[in-house]
Amino acid sequence: MADVRDLSGTEIAVIVPCYNEAAAVGKVVSELRDSLPTASIYVYDNNSTDDTAAIAAAAGAIVRHVGRKGKGNVVRRAFADVEADVYVLIDGDDTYEAARASELVRVLLSGPYDHVVGVRKHSNVAAYRPGHTFGNRMLTGAVGTLFGREITDMLSGYRAFSRRYVKSFPALSQEFEIETELTIHSLHLRVPVAEIPVGYKERPTGGESKLRTYRDGVRILRWILHLARLEKPTLFHGVLAGVFGLVALVLGIPVVLEYLDTGLVPRFPTAILASSIGLIAILMLVLGYLLDAVGRNRQEAARLTYLRFPAATAPVQLAPSPVQLEPVQLETGQLESGQLASGLLESGPPRQAV
């Protein structure tokens, strides 16, 4: 376990979203407590039907309940309610190395960084199926292409955040899209990000995965497109304008060539359709530029919210002075080195100058 003595002056909150994790949550809380003895560990129970809440409370966690189902709703509630200098987010299913939580915190403070991602490293195919690996790479690549920088493991559920990152994060997603939103928020604000490898293992016996590969994959892809429309409106609407413009050209060029050849426009419906689609393309492009101007205002507001809070740094530990010195006033002429040293180290009331 990493040395945590230098973290004693930092307020750390660990957030553990849980839904029916009775088989694992006790072990996760115990490992987190060993790794971060001074941290406040919050287990957010998301309508579990087993003994998740009771086991977490018995292990020493602070248990809170969120009625609206979905991991995104849990993170939204936790980020709003919990106050800390550093936040750690980890799933309660015992698939991540909870014992390495202190390492994420130390990396965050050493930068200082605002976002540290635990990149999953697995040795068991059952822990991270090939289909999930491919989907993660595809979605991570899409985000890297759209937003300009690639994070190795965009869908990791093991992360650490600074206070200013958390308090500027809108948390609009509801379910497993939350990791995508967390990643894009850091890329959107261009905050300093670090990654460290962490182990990823199979769920313990009795645990059940809540991830539905195809359904949640489609939801994540839709969320990426939604955020691209909001954060990159010029690109998004420019592509749509290009598609409409291409259709207008395909329909309109034969009509124009026929008019140049014969001086007649026999296909009025096609000409009207091509003109209308061309106008739509122009309006789509203008809309993209207008939304980009609006988006810049949103970016500035988010940035100013982010800058309201100081960077997350470890408190400076000053060594205690071995000798308590008292002020000494010397008589006129007593400036010899021996007399000066004797005066500084001598206890008792200060001498008065003549």
pLDDT per residue as tens digits for the range 315-334: 655 444 444 435 444 344 44
Are 238 and 223 members of one domain?
no
Structural tokens at position 346: 């001598």
Report whether 183 contacts 114 (CB < 8 A).
no
pTM of the predicted model as reported, rounded to 2 decimal places? 0.73
- Check which CATH number belongs to the domain holding 42 and give it: 3.90.550.10
Is 313 among the domain residues?
A: no
What residues contact 186, with CB distance under 8 A and at least 6 apart?
Answer: 114, 115, 151, 165, 193
280-321 pLDDT, tens digit per residue, is 999 999 999 998 888 888 888 888 888 888 887 766 554 444
Q: How far apart are CA 196 and CA 89, in angstroms?
A: 14
Residue-range definition of the domain harbouring residue 242: 233-307
Say how many CA atoms lie within 13 Å of 337 toward its Cβ: 0
Domain membership flag for residue 314: no
Whether 180 is covered by a domain: the verdict is yes
Q: Are residues 33 and 118 in the same domain?
A: yes
CA distance linking residue 75 with residue 66, whole number of Å: 10
Q: Is residue 102 part of a domain?
A: yes
In the prediction, which pLDDT does 318 show? 45
Q: Give the residue from 229, 244, 275 where a domain finishes.
A: 229
3-state SS, residue 195 = strand
Q: Measured between alpha carbons, how far is residue 12 from residues 36, 42, 86, 102, 223 in Å?
A: 8, 11, 5, 10, 30
Q: Note whether 92 and 129 are same-domain residues.
A: yes
Q: What is the 3-state secondary structure (H, E, C) of 139-166?
A: HHHHHHHHHCCCCCCCCCCCEEEEHHHH
* Whether residue 90 is found in the same domain as residue 139: yes
CB neighbours of 75 closer than 8 A, spacing ≥ 6? 15, 17, 89, 171, 178
**Among residues 229, 244, 271, which one ends one of the domains?**
229
pLDDT value at position 8?
73
**Is the same domain home to 211 and 344?**
no
Structure tokens at 39: 């941290």
What are the per-10-residue average pLDDT scores of the chain (354 residues)?
A: 62 95 93 94 93 94 93 94 96 92 94 92 61 69 72 88 94 86 88 92 68 69 80 88 94 89 86 94 93 85 87 61 45 41 39 38
For residues 342 and 250, membership in a common domain is answered with no
pLDDT at residue number 327: 45
Domain total of the chain: 3
Are 106 and 51 in a shared domain?
A: yes
In-domain check, residue 257: yes
Same domain, 186 and 256: no
- In the chain, % helix, strand, coil (3-state, to 5) comes to 50, 10, 40
Residues 179/70, Cβ–Cβ less than 8 Å = no
Q: Are residues 154 and 246 in the same domain?
A: no
The CA R_g of the chain, rounded to the nearest whole Å, is 30
Q: Residue 235's pLDDT is what?
A: 87
Residues 290 and 238 in one domain: yes
Name the packing angle between helices 101-110 and 25-35 (round to 10°): 40
Same domain for 293 and 171, yes or no, is no
Residue 42 lies in a domain: yes
Whether 254 is covered by a domain: the verdict is yes
**How confident is the model at residue 16, as a pLDDT?**
96
What does the pLDDT read at residue 177? 85
80 in a domain, yes or no?
A: yes
| Same domain flag for 207 and 270 | no
Are 284 and 235 contacting, i.e. CB atoms less than 8 angstroms apart?
no
Q: Which of 175, 208, 229 is the last residue of a domain?
A: 229
